[in-house]
Structure 1
Amino acid sequence: MQFLVVIGMIVAVLGVALLGMAIRLVLVKDGEVRGGCAGKNPMMQEEGVACTMCGAAPTEECKSEEA
């Protein structure tokens, strides 16, 4: 019986976490997930790494909307 309680608590915590990550999709009409480039990461900016998704350099704006 305790096993089912623990499994239920795990499922509840994971459900709340997923809902928290998707709150914009759930509550905002036509909501979308906001993405970002690796160029916004300070560690990547120091190394000059380009974004793997859109190819933007750290000094450029994200091109993901164009792709």
Structure 2
Amino acid sequence: MLLTRDGREQPAVAATVATFLAAAEVAGRPVEVIDVPAGRHGFDSLDHDVGSRTAVEAALDWVSGKIRAG
């Protein structure tokens, strides 16, 4: 599983992300996280900057790698 985490998320939403990641770890389910420190909620469609593009490209690479691996 892949998760993008933006650094400017609302605290209530960020808390649910932290809870989810902790639960995934306890359950032994690996989650790869792409951090976008300057990103905001919806950065992938709202922010047309280097940080957003880098995160989206990394996510696409991750998905492509999973598809190629079968």
TM-score, normalised with respect to structure 2: 0.29
Q: Decide which structure has greater strand share.
A: 2
TM-score, normalised with respect to structure 1: 0.30
Q: Decide which structure has greater helix share.
A: 2
The structure whose RCO (Cα within 8 Å, separation 6+) is larger is 2
- Asked which structure has the greater CA Rg, the reply is 1
